[in-house]
Amino acid sequence: MAAETIAAAGHRVVVFDRMPSLGRKLLMAGRGGLNLTHSEPLPAFLRRYGAAEAELAPHIAAFPPDALREWCEALGQETFTGSSGRVFPRAMKASPLLRAWLERLRGLGVEIRTRHAWHGFGAEGALRFAAPQGEVTHRPGATVLALGGASWPRLGADGSWAGSLPGLLVAPIRPSNCGFRIAWSPVFRARFAGAPLKRIALAFEGRTIRGEAVISAEGIEGGAVYALSAPLRDAIAERGEAVAILDLRPDLAADEVARRLAAPRRGQSLSSFLRKVLALPPVSIGLLQEALHGGAPADTLPSLVKALPLRLLAPLGLDRAISSAGGLALAELDAGLMLRGHPGLFAAGEMLDWEAPTGGYLLQACFATGRAAGRGAAAWLDRRREVP
């Protein structure tokens, strides 16, 4: 996005990418339909960025969700809004959009050099790259760093760039929109790893998310978990663990659950009884049995259905997180996303210290900050042209 913006302003642009081809993380995001942005009103949209709202708001307001949809459709990729308010390309994948985008960049004269890994700065601020032909240097009039976070590192961004920016404040990079580790019993793990939990609610510290989750061999993942991942992660860092509360039947009031469970079992096994009176799937019954075997009293079964405690021990790693938190502190950047004290050096995207939930907010902020950094770089280059 930065390259397109700078090239459209009339400047020569070279894109360096460490991978053999561009857009690998975008293509990975496209496996889930490529959730580009969200249709909710902008004030509510901006609140999704939490502590970074004030810093990101001007850039997203300058390139809001409607502008992103127009940009996408100008590339021949019609968009639509799903029932959840999320916005997707009609093709429900990233490859057609990426192909059209690269064609537009070629039309603007943008040069793309793949297999060039940035290794920091050399003499007089030159950019150093490890390339197939050996080390090469480049001395541009302006530079935009868009080096990514550290989730899914096999796709190219692994956070190693932090060591190439000495003297700048870089917050530790942590997993975001991630799953969590739970010490399942061997029996439960063997039987239910990979099982979906549908139509559940997950709560933590006064916030409740209705949605879905997935049991994994290591713990629990999925949309409802991701939505609470930031406070859960921070609580674990502070206290060593966090206890989330799982409601297995959020559509039933607690007194109705208790009434149904008060019916006589008539010789039925607990599993059969729970399946018949509460329509619980095997995985939900397994979770209840896991709690009972762990020492929960049998007479607490009604409350366990509505408030099953899940003891979360640690976030799952960056290699499986959807995104990451931490990165280059926003305080290091001016309003045009240029690094303070580093004239002509800009930064954008997930390498900056912000995080957001899934739902289109991640890509929207990456597109918007890319455009903002591109506008800042183009303006910087224009000012240099004007100097006699």
Phi, psi of 338 (to 5 degrees): -90, 140
CA–CA separation, 187 and 182 (whole Å): 14
Residue 63: Cβ-neighbour burial (10 angstroms; 0-12, 13-18, 19+) = buried
Residues 293 and 375 in one domain: no
Which residues are bridge partners to 284 per DSSP?
none
How does pLDDT run across 299-338, given as a tens digit for each residue? 899 999 999 999 999 999 999 899 999 999 999 999 999 9
Q: What is the 8-class DSSP label of residue 246?
A: E
Q: Do 145 and 9 share a structural domain?
A: yes
Tell me: the pLDDT tens digits for 1-52?
999 999 999 999 999 999 999 999 999 999 889 999 999 999 999 999 999 9
CATH number, position 114: 3.50.50.60
Kindly state whether residues 109 and 197 are assigned to the same domain: no
Q: What is the pLDDT of residues 74-108, one digit of tens each?
A: 999 999 999 999 999 999 999 999 999 999 999 99
- CATH label of the domain that carries residue 300: 2.40.30.10
pTM of the model: 0.92
Which of 290, 315, 340 represents a domain boundary (last residue)?
Answer: 315
Q: Do residue 278 and residue 323 come from a single domain?
A: no
329 and 192 share one domain = no
Task: For residues 49 and 115, state if they share a domain.
Answer: yes
Residue 161 sits in the same domain as residue 128? yes
For residues 277 and 351, membership in a common domain is answered with no
pLDDT tens digit sequence for 168-192: 999 999 999 999 999 999 999 999 9
Domain end, chosen from 255, 282, 315, is at 315
Q: Is 349 helix (H, G, I), strand (E, B) or coil?
A: helix
Whether 149 and 296 share a structural domain: no
Beta strands in 224-330 (DSSP E): 242-247, 308-312, 314-315, 323-328
Domain count, the chain: 2
**Confidence check: pLDDT of 386 > 80:** no
Residues 342, 17: Cα–Cα separation, whole Å:
22
171 and 268 together in one domain: no
**CB 212 within 8 Å of CB 198:** yes
Say whether both 39 and 153 belong to one domain. yes
Q: 301: how many CB neighbours lie within 10 A of its CB?
A: 18
* Eight-class DSSP state of 119: E
| DSSP assignments along 157-212, one per residue | --SGGGGGSTTS-EEEEEEES--EE----HHHHHHHTT-EEEEEEEEETTEEEEEE
Half-sphere exposure of 33 (CA within 13 A, CB side): 13
Residue after which a domain boundary falls, among 263, 296, 315: 315
The verdict on 229 and 329 lying in the same domain is no
Domain region containing 210: 180-315
For strand 242-247 and strand 308-312, is the pairing parallel, antiparallel, or unpaired? antiparallel
